[in-house]
């Protein structure tokens, strides 16, 4: 997958770490998503941040593929979220880029995406920080451009 390092993440719960990987191309970014997905269980929520074009959807695509999604995995920017059937149950892929918080939204708008048996991936979580069950956040992923098709991926667990 690329170079990797782990360092303590003092701003998160005791015992959590920040892992940093550098990937070369979309295949490496998808592989990083698949690696994280292997440790997820129903009910987990993964927050995925980064600039436009940083590889958020590519990372989520790798995770969803490894969890059994065979159809297209595209960014749900214009519909807020997509539901998929996975080997271990339902999978949700949300993109909150177009939301400006949840204050003006239907309070139940995102409930189906966060069912207790659903593994959920949330792109652009900074756009609606109160939209998911905070206690279920398993990982926070940050992607950044690292030159060309290379990406730097930081995962707080």
pLDDT digits (tens, 9 = 90+) for 26-52: 999 999 999 999 999 999 999 999 999
Sign, CA dihedral 36-94-154-117, equals: negative
Tokens of 130: 């109160």
CB burial class (10 A; 0-12, 13-18, 19+) of residue 108?
exposed
Q: What is the pTM of this model?
A: 0.86
User: What is d(CA 86, CA 27) in angstroms, rounded to the nearest whole number?
Assistant: 21
* pLDDT at residue 9 greater than cutoff 50: no
Query: For 53-91, b where at least 16 C-beta lie within 10 A, e where not — what string?
Result: ebbbbbbbbbbbbbbebeeebebbeeebbbebebeebbb
How many residues can be counted in the chain? 157
User: What is d(CA 156, CA 139) in angstroms, rounded to the nearest whole number?
Assistant: 5
Q: What is the CATH number of the domain that holds 94?
A: 3.40.50.300
User: What is d(CA 144, CA 136) in angstroms, rounded to the nearest whole number?
Assistant: 24
| Digit-coded pLDDT (tens) for 52-93 | 999 999 999 999 999 999 988 988 877 889 999 999 899 999
Q: How many domains does the chain have?
A: 1
For tokens 């177009």, what's the residue? 98
- Print the domain residue range for 102: 4-156
In this structure, the strands spanning 45-50 and 81-86 are unpaired
């Amino acid at each position: 997958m690329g170079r990797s390092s782990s360092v303590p993440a003092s701003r998160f719960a005791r015992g959590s770490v920040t892992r940093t990987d550098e990937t070369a191309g979309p295949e490496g970014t998808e592989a990083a998503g698949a690696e994280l997905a292997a440790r997820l269980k129903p009910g987990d929520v993964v927050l995925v941040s980064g600039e436009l074009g940083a590889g958020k959807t590519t990372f989520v695509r790798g995770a969803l593929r490894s969890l059994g999604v065979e159809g297209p995995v595209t960014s749900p920017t214009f519909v807020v979220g997509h539901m998929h059937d996975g080997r271990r149950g339902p999978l949700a892929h949300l993109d909150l880029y177009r939301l400006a918080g949840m204050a003006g939204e239907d309070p139940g708008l995102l409930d189906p995406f966060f069912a207790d048996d659903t593994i959920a991936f949330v792109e652009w979580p900074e756009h609606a920080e109160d939209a998911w069950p905070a206690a279920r956040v398993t990982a926070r992923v940050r992607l950044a451009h690292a030159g060309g098709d290379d990406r730097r991926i930081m995962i707080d667990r």
